Structure 1
Amino acid sequence: MNVRRIDPYAERIRRNRLHPRHQEFARPAWRWAGPNGVTRIDPHAIGALGPNGIRRIDRSGAVVETQPLASSPIESGPSRRMVVIDDPAGFVMVVPECPEGRLSDHDRDLFGLARQLADGQTLAVTAVTFQGAVAGLEEAGADRWIDLSATVDGDTHDPESRLAALVSVEAAMSPRHWLFADSFPGGGDLGRRLAARLSRSSSHGANARAATRVWQVAEGLALSRAGDRQDIQRELPRILLALPECAKPVSETRHEARPVSIDAVGSMPSAMTSSMTAVGVVDLGRVAVDPQQIPLSQAPFILSGGRGVGDWAGFHHAAEVLGASEGASRVAVDDGNMPRARQVGATGTFVFASCYIAVGISGAVQHLQGIAKCQRVVAINRDPGCDMVKRADLALIVDGDAVLAAVCERLGQPRAAEPSEAVSEAGSGALSKEEHYHDAA
């Protein structure tokens, strides 16, 4: 009998998009945009095959496909085809935002769009980063890598210095295209600054005018979103500011990401250097922000509680110590433990946190839909078979109140006992002491 086996390690890699081998085990896309902008759906790729061979459709993200993988087993090496370009005819520059020092989903989409522009023309896709160590550039599709961390501090907001570094790269390599993420204040601001700088040069002219909100490139044309059901089509410019999901990430090839050094000072034209002496933006450092004042849909770190939380005072204290925004399941909100504005899920707020910690949440389908776009999910629950544990990238099968109290104590900020709790503990201690004397007698 042909019994279908499930590899839990492969399933965990497939759920975790930050894993280095995620693209190797990810299932193929079942939804894409056609050349005329119409969304196409492959009905054969929707859902997942269960152990009994029946296809189930689960949009919560808790279940992954258990169909046997076409690639090699997990013990073998990567199955991607290696691509090396020794003598490129030109360059396509990609400036990823790299939040928290790693590539985001939007950054991988940019590299996918760059490969559409480079493949077939022997162009080298070059990543230009302001961080010293960025992992995953080889799998993302970068043939070259320019590290500008020695010239520009990637942790500070200094757009003029970043612009000067990009202008030096432009003068040294003269790339065919520049790709930025159309987001503010990251790639959207920097890409527009570069377009304004290059448009002053007579050699570039109107071709340096950036195409914003790009979501598709085909046949030498760029298609940009202008509004609801309205698109702008124009010739492919040198600078493109692309939206998320502008292209499919690279999943079949592996590239070299060969480091390239650029002299940011020596290669910069003197005219441009003199025009950049006046600094218009001064970084005064980070401003402390109350995590509870951040909208839940924009919070990068969320500590969420459910019915399994028994000590809500300790939960609030842990969120304050960790610097996390508070969230809750629908049950916790209905019980009156959290306000309705903090409800996470399809019936509450969809969240896109980099780290989401679920304490005492079983994982209803509406809640799992709300956290489908979170990068890392940590579940703390007593039930090892709940759906939240199956969805999580890391699961702790233990009491959530005890874990939060231990974390606060480890960080040197334990919660002070309430007067009522102190009296209760004193009473219970005295009672146990009397019982001890009674037993000894």
Structure 2
Amino acid sequence: MNTILKRIDPRRPFTITASGLRRITLGAVVEAGAVQGEALGASLAHAHGAARGAAAVKPRRTTQAPQRTLLVVAHTDRGSLDEHARQTLAAAALIANAQTQVALLVLGELKDDAAVLGADKVIELASFDRRAFAPESELQALAACVAQLAPAHILMPDNATGDGDLGRRYAAYARASVATHVAEISGTHVATYVHAKKSFATRALPDIVLLATGAVDPRLPFVGAGERLEIPSLVAASQSASTPYRDLGIEEIDAAQVALEEANFIVSAGNGVTDVGAFEKLAGSFGAAIGASRVAVDNGMFTRDKQIGATGKTVEASVYIAFGISGAVQHLQGIKDCRHVIAVNLDGSAPIVKRANLSIIGDTQATIASLIEAVGLARAARSQPGMPSTEPVAEGVAA
């Protein structure tokens, strides 16, 4: 005997919940006619628009006069804070009470909206460059900022790109208490993993907190004041610092030699890439590292060390471009910490498109060919007299 299962008609009458979700009314039947369909569509669009508008407007964390300060210190990369720095700033905003202001000392130029990230005061020292090695100048600038603001605590990302080193240097310089690799933080204590991450060690909130990556969600339900603050003494202190070090610059290496876990710019191929040679040429033009989906690796297109995902490598690139990758949940897990995700795919409903910050719905090979041509034209333009030619194209894309 054949069993017939009735499909639930998605056009049946529904109500809109407070969160903007559509809830189908069971037992009701839709009458044929375009008028009711249009009315339902209009009500749904209105409800979703209202939900988006409510989500876009966030309240100020506090409007009270500050009695104390939490100071966050971080380097910028091409004018932006990376995900780790954003997490650290969010941590300070989350543990601050109504009488506490969150001040952000930025070493480098800042183009981000600091208020959205949770900062109440922003001190920008644009003369510093993350790619330059000037520990003594940064230390003196930080000391001058602390003398001016007298923060109760200082929070910094515990990374290998300057912030972690500066935090440890200042702790030794000021003889301050410090906690490193902090995986949990509150207004009263911090905690870090011990015994091969089988347990936590806790202590009272120290003078300096070096926060581990992934400890805090940077998405905040509120905003800060975001006011710019000029402190001339910081610039003077950093310029007067003498240093025994000589910066020899950064040695450029082939992007293909960079480990995927450390790569800042990654182009990744999936089953939709049919011309591997053209894809590798594009990666070379961009100066980007090469990654791949599990399917592409299983098909023999790339070696296993290029696989990105839950069963491969987890990456934290500033820019991640996925060519012809549908976006299985395992792959999305591997790129969850990437800052800007760009998807190139024929399927506009693919999971990778929903995750991406920017999507190109089109043929993968045609897009690769167009990008190679565009990069070539950009390099030719930069090589003309009067045009700078030292900045890599990859940095321009990542900005």
Classify the TM-score, shorter chain.
0.7 to 0.9
Structure 2 counterparts to residues 173-184 of structure 1, below 5 A: 173-184=149-160
* 2:228 pairs with one of 259, 271, 277: 259
What is the match of residue 82 of structure 1? 60
1:149 aligns with 2:117: no
- Deviation per CA, 1:80-133: give whole Å up to 9, x if none: 11245564222111013434432333223322332344304x121100002232
- Deviation per CA, 1:353-390: give whole Å up to 9, x if none: 22221222233333233223322222222333433333
Any conservation in 1 of the 2:77–2:130 contact (CA below 8 Å)?
Answer: no
Residue identity opposite 1:147 in structure 2: E
SS in structure 2 opposite 1:212?
Answer: strand
Aligned residues: 348
Identify if the C-alpha distance between structure 1 residues 395 and 156 changes in structure 2 by more than 3 Å, giving closer, same or farther.
same
For the residues of structure 2 that align with 1:328 and 1:161, how far apart are their CA atoms?
41
- Deviation per CA, 1:231-289: give whole Å up to 9, x if none: 33333221111223434546222221211111236985xxx999x52x13322222212
Which runs of no fewer than 5 residues in structure 2 stay unpaired? 1-11, 26-43, 379-399
For the residues of structure 2 that align with 1:313 and 1:221, how far apart are their CA atoms?
53
Which runs of no fewer than 5 residues in structure 1 stay unpaired? 7-26, 28-48, 54-65, 200-207, 415-441
Shift in Å, 1:345: 2.1
For the residues of structure 2 that align with 1:128 and 1:253, how far apart are their CA atoms?
20
SS in structure 1 opposite 2:223?
Answer: strand
Structure 2 counterparts to residues 100-119 of structure 1, below 5 A: 100-119=78-97
Identify if the C-alpha distance between structure 1 residues 51 and 306 changes in structure 2 by more than 3 Å, giving closer, same or farther.
farther
Q: Which runs of 4+ in 1 moved over 4 A?
A: 49-53, 68-72, 83-86, 265-268
SS in structure 1 opposite 2:192?
Answer: strand
- Deviation per CA, 1:286-307: give whole Å up to 9, x if none: 2212111111222221111222
1:222 aligns with 2:198: no
For the residues of structure 2 that align with 1:99 and 1:273, how far apart are their CA atoms?
21
- Deviation per CA, 1:317-360: give whole Å up to 9, x if none: 11111111111222322332211211222232222222221222
- Deviation per CA, 1:179-237: give whole Å up to 9, x if none: 111112322111011111111xxxxxxxx121212233446333233342343333322
For the residues of structure 2 that align with 1:108 and 1:92, how far apart are their CA atoms?
15
For the residues of structure 2 that align with 1:223 and 1:333, how far apart are their CA atoms?
39
What is the match of residue 172 of structure 2? 196
Indicate the larger mover: 213-222 or 125-134.
Answer: 213-222
TM-score normalised by length of structure 2: 0.76
1:130 aligns with 2:107: yes
Shift in Å, 1:75: 5.0
Any conservation in 2 of the 1:145–1:260 contact (CA below 8 Å)?
Answer: yes
Any conservation in 1 of the 2:190–2:205 contact (CA below 8 Å)?
Answer: yes
What is the match of residue 203 of structure 1? none
1:96 aligns with 2:96: no
- Deviation per CA, 1:380-418: give whole Å up to 9, x if none: 22333433333332222222222212221222279xxxx
Structure 2 counterparts to residues 24-423 of structure 1, below 5 A: 72-75=50-53, 78-83=56-61, 85=63, 87-120=65-98, 122-150=99-127, 152-199=128-175, 208-218=176-186, 220-227=188-195, 228-249=197-218, 251-264=220-233, 276-277=241-242, 279-412=243-376
Any conservation in 1 of the 2:179–2:206 contact (CA below 8 Å)?
Answer: yes
For the residues of structure 1 that align with 2:219 and 2:354, how far apart are their CA atoms?
27
- Deviation per CA, 1:117-173: give whole Å up to 9, x if none: 4304x12110000223231311222111111224x3455221211111111112222
Any conservation in 2 of the 1:321–1:413 contact (CA below 8 Å)?
Answer: no
Any conservation in 1 of the 2:113–2:226 contact (CA below 8 Å)?
Answer: no
Any conservation in 2 of the 1:141–1:250 contact (CA below 8 Å)?
Answer: no
RMSD: 3.5
TM-score normalised by length of structure 1: 0.69
Any conservation in 2 of the 1:96–1:181 contact (CA below 8 Å)?
Answer: yes
Identify if the C-alpha distance between structure 1 residues 87 and 209 changes in structure 2 by more than 3 Å, giving closer, same or farther.
same
Identify if the C-alpha distance between structure 1 residues 69 and 94 changes in structure 2 by more than 3 Å, giving closer, same or farther.
farther
